[in-house]
Structure 1
Amino acid sequence: MNSNTNEKIAFSLLILATLIVTGFVLVILAYIILNGYGAISIEFLTQMPNRMMTAGGIFPAIVGTIALIIGSMLVALPLGVMAAIYLNEYAGESRTTWLIEMAINNLAGTPSVVFGLFGLALFVKYFDFGPSILSASLTLALLILPVIIRASEEALLAVPNEYRESSLALGVSKWQTIRYVVLPAAIPGVVTGSVLSIGRVAGETAPILFTGAAYFLPRMPDSIYSQFMALPYHLFVLATAGTNISETRSIQYGTALVLLIIVLGINLVAVVIRRHYRNKLKI
């Protein structure tokens, strides 16, 4: 076979793989929407749960999930970006750098339940934060830190060296070059890593199970030291707590649909931000 034939075959396989993945995503979305849209209402989104979560709304779980996303990103995003800047811009090739990179890789491959146990031991017990939004947010921040570091590193590596050299040639300091030239150019890639992290934070159950998620809490948390409800744990309990599946089926899929909408909504905002910065770079 000539090169043109090989190229056509490879291109066809890539298209087929893309269609298969897209098909699976659409099937999952359609299944959740068809089973969950009937439960969506103003009352479902704004009321407290009752009858041990087999009736009522999911408002505390929505607030708890959003609080976890905000809390974990406030910790993980600056730490991850700063770590990536150090590794990419300041740390040279050395044994210490190699050890740091290996630690990040190992952290990325650690099961989420291990993070939950670590958060229980460190934040809940040792620092005495108790089962709370703070403990869960810090645990989730550790969970997503490797994703943000890796995405930020790749974004920084994608910035052409000409940007750095031109800035330094004008007498600008290295830190000012990173802050005003390199980092703005890398923001679209950093936002991509943040989007992946938000999706993982919103969907994790094991870490919050150990660090503060409540089984049934028909009230709002009053501080970061309060226990909370969260959509993924709410969904987990509905599916596994021995309740009547036929009675809670619509609530289960309604909860899954709300969680999906929140993640997609935040991702959409992140895409808009990324496109804004890409357009600025083109100007």
Structure 2
Amino acid sequence: MGSFDARGKSPLFTLIIYGVLVMSLMGIFIPFIYVISSSFATEQEFLSRGFFIFPREWTIEAYGYLLSNENFTTAFGNSVQITVTGTAINIILTSLMAYGLSKSWLQGHRYLNFMVLFTMIFSGGMIPTYLVIKELGLINSYWALYLNMAIAPFNLIVMRSFFQNIPSELEEAARIDGCSEVRLFLRIVIPLSMPAIATFTLFYAVFNWNQYFYAILFLNNSSDWPLQVYLRQMLIETTSGMEADAGGFHYTPAVKMAAVIITAVPLLIVYPFLQKYFNKGMLLGSVKG
């Protein structure tokens, strides 16, 4: 039997736990450092050294080369447009519907809640979804992306639970003072719900920024493709032996790593500003089912 410390834990067990955590951290940290450092390396160093953690010669040529690629900058702008517009539509529609479904006095709210839950279990499928979008005339339009996933059922249910936690006495007092439902929602409910709204804004922003499957399904024009589809094309062209795109841009390993870094940076910048709301929003929205 091994000895135990004052808290009743074995030092050997604690050592094993720390060892597993350190190895897990290294498994995440080393590839992350490799991607960043190799984006500043020269093509000659990739050919001569193969794998390395830190390059001997640092250069920003890959970033300048990539940012001069009109196809990449267009795809980046498309992703920004899809993320900003799509997230705004997502959060507005989700919050409005969740607030309505959180009211037990709303006629038919049980039926509507069931329909929301039903869509979490069963989906229409790819072909019916495509046919509906085609009949609506939304092919080659960003509205096919905005409206197709305008409301995520899981996000709606959690946000509805958050609204249900708001004291009804507060809303009744506002109504007695002559506050309309719209003003009550905008002036009282929304400020109190900022943790939930910020949390699901982040969820929707990540989803929209990573738009890939629906983009290649509904968008046929390459000039409308978001950044994730552009990265796919870069991968296809390099793995098929073509090291340059139609514009003649050469995809060196450093350029590919730089593309990964630039793609990840926007979300890494936004996340710290919303992190303080993240845990609070998820916990408060999970109190009631």
**TM-score category by the smaller chain?**
0.5 to 0.7
How far did 1:86 drift?
Answer: 1.2
Match of 1:96 in 2: 111
Partner of 2:214: 207
Structure showing the higher helix proportion among its residues: 1
Tell me the residue number matched to 2:3. none
1:260 aligns with 2:257: no
Structure 2 length as normaliser, TM-score? 0.65
Tell me the SS of whatever aligns to 1:89.
Answer: coil
1:120 corresponds to which of 92, 111, 130: 130
Give 1:49-128 correspondences, 5 Å limit. 49=71, 58-90=72-104, 91=106, 95-106=110-121, 114=125, 117=127, 120-123=130-133, 125-128=134-137
The answer (yes or no) to whether the contact 1:48–1:60 under 8 Å persists in 2 is yes
**Deviation larger for 89-98 or 202-211:** 89-98
Whether 1:146 and 2:150 are equivalent positions in the alignment is no
Contact conserved, 2:141 with 2:218, CA < 8 A, in 1?
A: yes
Q: Secondary structure at the match of 1:131?
A: coil
Which has the higher Rg, Structure 1 or Structure 2?
2
SS in 1 for 2:102: helix
CA contact (8 A) 1:119 1:211 kept: no
Distance 1:14 1:174 in 2: 56
- Structure 2 spans left out of the alignment, 5+ residues: 1-6, 42-60, 244-250, 282-289
Counterpart amino acid of residue 145 in structure 1:
A
| Cα shift readout 1:108-137 (whole Å, capped 9, x = no counterpart) | xx59xx46x5553233x2122331333233
Distance 1:14 1:92 in 2: 54
Distance 2:75 2:263 in 1: 10
The alignment partner of 2:101 has SS state of helix
CA shift, 1:35, in A, is 3.6
Contact 1:213 1:230 in 2 (8 A): no
Name the structure 2 match of 1:53: none
Alpha-carbon distance in 1 for matches of 2:200, 2:20: 23
Contact 1:147 1:197 in 2 (8 A): no
Q: Look up the SS of the partner of 1:204 in the other structure.
A: coil
1:229 corresponds to 2:232: no
- Alpha-carbon shift at residue 236 of structure 1 (Å): 1.4
Q: Does 1:155 align with 2:177?
A: no
**Shift of residue 104 of structure 1?**
4.5
Contact kept, 8 Å, 1:151 with 1:190, in 2: the verdict is no
Q: CA RMSD in A?
A: 4.2
Output the CA distance in 2 between the equivalents of 1:230 and 1:61: 5
- Structure 1 residues 60-107: Cα deviation after superposition (integer angstroms, max 9, x where no partner): 110111111123223222111111101213448964144134234237
Give the corresponding residue for 2:44. none
Residue of structure 1 in register with 2:48 after alignment: none
Distance 1:260 1:168, change over 3 A: same
Report the secondary structure of 2:206's partner residue.
helix
Give the number of aligned pairs.
243
